[in-house]
């Protein structure tokens, strides 16, 4: 008989324990279809951040725009947009650090958020309750203004598959705008969802889930998302209402009442989710209907017996985890927390889902009370940039900036501080990684914007 093809003891073969197939299978286990097979090559890009020197950061500022509330790069990294307190939007070339344009009256009140729809179209939202669409090729006038919210608009998301714009505001509404039928008078829109204490809303990268954070400490997840179907209060199937690490009900005394939150401190005049709404069972026995609602109270270290406010909400670029910035009701503590999405077999038999698991956390500097600090993931998901006092911290899941799926701890572990960068003279409110270059931007309360790049 022929000798086996893999007779060398040093080469166990693809089917043997420890062989190539087992190694590949181990790499892909639990990572989903969105895994980049060449993700280890991002280690070179991650190493570049170790060469960043804050003294060499380029500072950009004007005299009239006020505090910086949000930063956003275009998808190709060619433009950096800045949402400002005093009705302005600033545009810069992040490569040359040159000022391109100032939209001096972009809105009639604070500009809160900016979102690019593609490399030329972007949307802005404001405390004047409107959303504006802009074209980089013609910045003298807006493409159109969208009216539909009744209070401050704080968040913009975009579904690239359906070309639907999704916005949320302190009126508690999530509104869908059909940009496929956009005219100078606006876009057709409809109210998709409503909840009280709404703070931030995000879509996962594949737009299969919508996450909503609240100032009362709840995190809402809409699974199997269908944006074409409007949801009335009480009409959606409830999957589970529970704390992520215990069986306590979401209507327990751990919830908090209204509190002042915002950028700066804004009041949300709404009440908590009703117990009647949360008691509705799933519409399908053991099934997962579209837009199924899951209500969670994420665990926050040091806050087990007190309510907390989820002020900032971001998602891992590959949809593996969610990143929260939480503060206590008394604003005496702030935490940055990472929660892994747990897919697969449910933790509890009554639920067709697994919710979130706290994997990493770190306490933040309690500076600038009442202001929201917007943090972010790096484009490869290996690092977190977090406002920290008068600067920013680069945080990793371990000292080697490994990917989350390669260093998942059995119990919650502290985030590792990779670098601290300080170049501001006031509280940093927002930070953002460039999607294409090794560059970080940060903006502070006094209106200064800084860019950080490697020095060799």
Residue ranges of the domains in the chain?
A: 55-240+290-449
Closest CA to 132 of 186, 200, 75, 81: 186
pLDDT recorded at residue 321:
93
Q: Which of 253-262, 283-292, 363-372, 418-427 has the lowest mean pLDDT?
A: 253-262
Q: What CATH code is assigned to 55-240+290-449?
A: 2.130.10.10
Can you tell me the mean pLDDT for 277-281?
Answer: 35
- Does 37 or 401 have the greater pLDDT score? 401
Please compute the mean of the pLDDT values over residues 253-264 and round it to a whole number: 34
Question: For residue 178, what are the β-bridge partners?
Answer: 164
As a whole number of angstroms, the distance between CA 238 and CA 67 comes to 40
Which residues 6+ apart lie within 8 Å of 152 measured at CB? Answer: 109, 110, 112, 126, 127, 129, 169, 170, 171, 262, 266
pTM for this predicted structure: 0.78
pLDDT at 91 over 90: yes
pLDDT number for residue 427: 93
pLDDT of 351 reads 40
Quote the pLDDT of residue 58.
60
pLDDT band at 124 (very low <50, low <70, confident <90, very high): very high
Q: Is the pLDDT of residue 275 over 50?
A: no
pLDDT at 120: 93
Could you tell me which residue, 226 or 258, shows the higher pLDDT? 226
Tell me if 254 sits within 8 A of 364, measured CB to CB: no
pLDDT exceeds 70 at position 101: yes
What pLDDT band is residue 42 in, cutting at 50, 70 and 90?
Answer: low
pLDDT of residue 248: 30
Question: What percent of the chain is modeled with pLDDT above 70?
Answer: 68
**How large a percentage of the chain has pLDDT more than 90?**
40
């Amino acid at each position: 008989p022929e000798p086996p093809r893999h007779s060398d003891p040093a080469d166990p073969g693809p089917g043997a324990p420890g062989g190539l197939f087992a190694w590949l299978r181990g790499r892909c286990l639990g990572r989903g279809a969105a895994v980049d097979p060449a993700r280890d090559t991002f280690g070179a890009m991650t190493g570049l951040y170790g060469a960043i020197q804050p003294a060499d950061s380029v500072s950009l500022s004007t005299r009239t725009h006020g505090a910086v509330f949000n930063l956003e790069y275009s998808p190709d990294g060619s433009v950096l947009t800045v949402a400002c307190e005093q009705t302005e939007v600033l545009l810069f070339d992040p490569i040359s650090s040159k000022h391109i344009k100032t939209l001096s009256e972009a809105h009639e009140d604070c500009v809160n958020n900016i979102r690019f729809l593609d490399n030329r179209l972007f949307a802005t939202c404001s405390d004047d309750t409107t959303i504006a669409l802009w074209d980089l090729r013609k910045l003298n006038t807006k493409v159109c203004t969208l009216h539909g919210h009744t209070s401050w608009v704080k968040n913009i998301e975009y579904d690239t598959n359906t070309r639907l714009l999704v916005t949320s505001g302190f009126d508690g509404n999530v509104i869908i705008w059909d940009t496929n039928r956009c005219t100078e008078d606006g876009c057709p829109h409809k109210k998709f969802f409503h909840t009280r204490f709404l703070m931030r809303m995000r879509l996962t990268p594949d737009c299969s889930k919508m996450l909503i954070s609240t100032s009362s400490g709840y995190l809402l997840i809409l699974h199997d998302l269908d944006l074409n179907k409007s949801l009335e209060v009480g009409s959606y199937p409830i999957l589970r209402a529970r704390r992520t690490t215990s069986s306590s009900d979401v209507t327990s005394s751990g919830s908090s009442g209204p509190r002042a939150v915002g950028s700066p401190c804004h009041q949300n005049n709404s009440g908590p989710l009703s117990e009647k709404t949360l008691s509705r069972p799933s519409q399908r026995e053991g099934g997962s209907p579209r837009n199924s609602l899951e209500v969670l109270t994420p665990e926050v270290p040091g806050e087990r017996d007190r309510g907390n406010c989820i002020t900032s909400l971001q998602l891992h670029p590959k949809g593996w985890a969610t990143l929260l910035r939480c503060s206590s009701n008394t604003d005496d503590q702030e935490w940055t927390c990472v929660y892994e999405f747990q897919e697969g077999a449910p933790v509890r038999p009554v639920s067709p889902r697994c919710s979130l698991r706290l994997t990493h956390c770190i306490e933040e500097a309690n500076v600038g009370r009442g202001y929201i600090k917007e943090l972010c993931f790096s484009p490869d998901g290996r690092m977190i940039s977090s406002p920290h006092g008068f600067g920013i911290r680069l945080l990793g899941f371990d000292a080697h900036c490994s990917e989350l799926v390669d260093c998942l701890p059995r119990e919650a572990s502290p985030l590792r501080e990779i670098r601290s960068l300080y170049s501001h003279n006031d509280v940093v409110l927002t930070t953002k990684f460039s999607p294409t270059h090794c560059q970080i931007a940060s903006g502070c309360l006094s209106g200064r914007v800084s860019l950080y790049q490697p020095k060799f």
